[in-house]
Chains A and B, each alone.
Chain A
Amino acid sequence: MESRIKNVMASVFEVDSSQINNDTSPDTLESWDSLKHMNLILALEEEFGVEFDNDDITNMINFNLILLILKEKA
């Protein structure tokens, strides 16, 4: 699951997946703006067949939190 998340993040933020680590967040990644955040949510939903609610969407602001929320859904 972790590598699938990283691949999705890499595609959305247009960086190499090696640049995505557990602390990656809008503060460490310049391309992670609010529009890209929406794209990330949509891409993750499609990849994992889940749907996030508004709270999830506001909370998913670093790799670890994304992983945590996805694990709850799975």
Chain B
Amino acid sequence: MSTDTYSDILKLNKELGQSMSTNNRYEVAVLSNIMTTQLKEILEYYLRREGIYADVVFGDYDNIVQDSCKFKDRNCIIIVWELGNIIDGFYYKANTMEKDELEDVILKTKNEIDFVLANLKSTSLVLINKFSSLIYSYPYIRQNNLDEAARALNSYLEMRISANMILIDVDKVLAKVSIDKSIDLRFYYSSKSLYSIDYYKEYMKFVKPIFMFASGKVKKAMIFDCDNTLWKGIVGEEGLQGISMSARNTEGIVYEEVQYLALELAQKGIIIGLCSKNNPEDVDDVIKNHSDMTLKDQHILIKKVNWDDKITNLKSTARELNIRLDSFVFVDDSEFEANLVKEGLPDITVLQVPKKLFEYPKLIRENIGLFFNISNTVEDKRKIQMYKEQSQREQSKESFNSIEGYLKSLELKVSVYEDKVELIPRMSQMTQKTNQFNLTSRRYTEGDIARFLEESKYRNFTFSVNDKFGDYGVAGLVILELNELNNTAIIDSFLMSCRIIGRNIEYAFFDFLVEKLRFQNINSIEAVYIKSPKNEMAANFYENIGFGIIKTVDNTKYYNLKMENYKSKLIDYVEITDGK
């Protein structure tokens, strides 16, 4: 698909636009001090292809400061601040400048940066290209004024940006495309347009994971086949000593590198799993007893080693971990197996070990962006442990006759927190990543959440859950807007992380919430359910507890509940308390 020509992109982008629903646009504004006309359709196309209906507008030429105010309410702002043009002709004037002249230009730009960052501090997502001197100064052996300006401005940016802003290291994009192929000076002299089509395509490949994350489309698990995927050789035939995954062997070294990449992901809280046609004892033997294995039992969360087909195994992996198949990446050396999974489970991203084995680590590395995560929270680091506990719970489920009996035995405890500032990153993350039990699927940045906490008309509850097997962490969120004039509460967002679904916690929590609101003389609650491709499971939640439907418009159901009509599910096995 990366081979689509610009002409194809223009045509396909228009067609995708016509086929997509218009009520869920993702609005992007590009602010720049050069012309970036071709970025529009290329950006739109790369995102529309992933189901994100992007729509790009441009600010006026060289008007970044003024436009940062005008466009701040878009879903995303991209700032393309070209170093060579921070003043007219800077790229050819800079090296003639005296130190104080150069300082003046840098200071002027820093002041502009301050304005822009202040204007955009509440925008959901801001991508800021780092200043780059590379395309101008690459032939110079010594550091020159352009390098110095780029360094000063970038370290200033790093100091000043807030949590909703991400700096994009465009040098990495330039390196991939090459400077010669990135720059098209013909149109710079005539129209201040500097970059090539190839550059914009590569730029979009580089930043796409950020948009995927912001739209709740993120990969959570990497599942490996074993033979010739995690190690060289076939353990069932060649035995423990016949296989290799160490630097002492010219092919084994490739597998050592891949195992380290998998370890890197495991340490970030990505699920690493196995799905392999093998005797389970053979594979266990390798993991426990082969001294060259980098991945150990504690890194591998789930093992489906048997002779069943891989589609069945991957489906049951998804079920047991309670995550969706489209959050899987699957790696296999067999073309047959890879194609089978691609066809049978088209939502899964499938990587096949390349025929040229030395390209295998590169393939894994190039896909690491799929697991991109804006903030690193404590929850991420604890995730592996939590998923392990989930598997244990699934297994103990089987020994109970009724789900009720099982849930009672869990000794579920819920702690509710209100307006807790320390939880802002986690709250934002939950709105970004929760898809299934999410009544409105509204995505908020940390800046958005901080605003809800500041404004007194909002009440923001989060809750954490634990049971006798362990701690699920902070896993639920409600944002309420109060209208004290008519004693009404409006539910802006209500969501629960998938790892606590199926325990009736939502019903128990709602009892608690209704009690709190009654105490505040609230006598009715308004709510909506906005249907998304993934939240079917929550479609009838409000009906189940006594809400009445007022109207249904497109994919949205509007509800109202008079407090006296509230139907509690009388869940008596979840203990709910105010958290500290």
Nearest B residue to A36 by beta-carbon distance? B37
Whole-angstrom distance from the CB of A63 to the nearest CB of chain B? 15
Task: Mark each residue of chain A from 1 to 33: 1 if its CB lies under 8 Å from any CB of chain B, else 0.
Answer: 000000110111010000000000000000000
Report which of B8, B38, B193 forms a contact with A11, defined as CB distance below 8 A.
B8
User: Which residue of chain B lies nearest to A52 when distances are taken between CB atoms in the complex?
Assistant: B186
Residues of B within 8 A of A14 (CB): 10, 14
Kindly supply a per-residue 1/0 record for chain B positions 441-484, scoring 1 wherever the CB is within 8 Å of any chain A CB and 0 otherwise: 00000000000000000000000000000000000000000000
Judged by a CB distance under 8 angstroms, whether B197 is at the interface is yes
Residues of A within 8 Å of B196, CB to CB, are: 42
Interface mask (A32-67 → B, CB under 8 Å = 1, otherwise 0): 001100110011001100000110010000000000
Residue in B7, B186, B197 whose CB lies within 8 Å of A12: B7
A35 with B37: in contact, given A42-B197, A46-B197, A54-B186 (CB under 8 Å)? yes
Name the distance in Å between A49's Cβ and chain B's nearest Cβ.
Answer: 10
Question: In the docked arrangement, what's the CA distance between A34 and B187, Å?
Answer: 11
CA distance A49 to B186 in the complex (A): 17
Question: In angstroms, how far is the closest chain A Cβ from the Cβ of B48?
Answer: 15
Which residue of B is nearest A34, CB measured?
A: B191
Assembled-state Cα–Cα distance A35/B40 (Å): 12
A38 vs B35: C-alpha distance when bound (angstroms) = 11
Tell me the total A-B contact number using a CB cutoff of 8 A.
Answer: 44
Kindly state whether residue B540 has any CB partner on chain A within 8 Å: no
In the bound complex, how far is the Cα of B197 from the Cα of A16, in angstroms? 23
Cβ contact within 8 Å between B37 and A43: no
CB-CB under 8 A for A42 and B10, given A47-B5, A54-B186 = no
Known contacts being A35-B37, A57-B186, is A42 close to B6, with CB within 8 Å? yes
B11 in the interface (beta carbon within 8 A): yes
- Which residue in A7, A10, A43 is a CB contact (below 8 Å) of B6? A43
Which residues of A sit under 8 angstroms from B10, Cβ to Cβ? Answer: 11-12, 14, 39, 43
- Inter-chain CA distance A8–B191, complex, in Å, is 22
Neighbouring A residues of B193 by C-beta, 8 Å: 38
A42 and B191 contact, CB distance less than 8 A? no
Chain A residues near B184 (CB-CB < 8 A)? 42
The smallest C-beta distance from B508 to any residue of chain A, in angstroms, reads: 55
Q: How far is the CB of A17 from chain B (nearest CB, A)?
A: 10
Q: Do B11 and A42 touch (CB < 8 A)?
A: no
Q: Is the CB of A7 within 8 A of B7?
A: yes
| Chain A residue contacts of B187, Cβ below 8 A | 38
B-side contacts of A10, CB under 8 Å: 11
**Closest residue of chain A to B186, judged by CB?**
A54
In the assembled complex, which residues on chain B have CB atoms less than 8 Å from the CB atom of A43?
Answer: 5-7, 10
Q: Are A47 and B7 neighbours in the complex by a CB distance under 8 Å?
A: yes
Give Cα distance in the complex from A38 to B187, angstroms: 8
Contact with A along B164-202 (1 / 0, CB 8 A): 000000000000000000001011001101001100000
Q: Which of A35, A43, A47 is packed against the most chain B CB atoms within 10 Å?
A: A43
| B14 touching A8, Cβ below 8 Å | no
Docked-complex contact B38 and A42, CB < 8 angstroms: yes
Bound-state CA distance A7–B8 (Å) is: 9
> A38 touching B37 by the CB < 8 A rule?
yes
B 1-15 binary contact with A (CB < 8 Å = 1; else 0): 000011110110010
Closest to B14 in A: A14
A46-B6 contact, Cβ under 8 Å, with A38-B37, A38-B187, A39-B37: yes
Nearest CB in chain A: distance from B15 CB, A: 10
CB distance from A3 to the nearest CB of B (A): 13
Task: Determine if B5 and A38 form an interchain contact, defined as CB atoms under 8 angstroms apart.
Answer: no
Contact: A8 with B7, CB < 8 Å? yes
Residues of chain B in range 1-38 having any CB-CB distance to chain A below 8 Å: 5-8, 10-11, 14, 35, 37-38
Contacts of B186 in A (CB 8 A): 53-54, 57
The CA-CA distance from A35 to B191 in the complex, in Å, is 9
CB distance from A23 to the nearest CB of B (A): 21
Given A39-B37, A46-B197, check contact A11 B11 (CB 8 Å). yes
Distance to closest chain A CB from B451 (angstroms): 37
List the A residue with the shortest CB-CB distance to B191: A38
Q: From residue A22, how far is it (CB to closest CB) to chain B in Å?
A: 20
Q: How far is the CB of B18 from chain A (nearest CB, A)?
A: 11
CA distance A34 to B116 in the complex (A): 30
10 tightest Cβ-Cβ pairs between the two chains A and B:
A11-B10, A11-B11, A43-B7, A8-B7, A11-B7, A43-B6, A46-B5, A35-B37, A46-B6, A42-B197
Q: With A14-B14, A38-B187, A42-B197 given, can you name 9 additional A-B contacts, CB distance below 8 Å?
A: A7-B7, A11-B14, A35-B35, A39-B6, A39-B37, A42-B196, A43-B7, A43-B10, A54-B190
Interchain Cβ contacts under 8 Å between A and B, 20 examples: A7-B7, A11-B8, A11-B10, A11-B14, A12-B7, A12-B10, A14-B10, A35-B37, A38-B187, A39-B6, A42-B6, A42-B38, A42-B184, A42-B197, A43-B6, A43-B7, A47-B5, A47-B7, A53-B186, A57-B186
Which residues of A are at the interface with B, using a C-beta cutoff of 8 A? 7-8, 10-12, 14, 34-35, 38-39, 42-43, 46-47, 53-54, 57
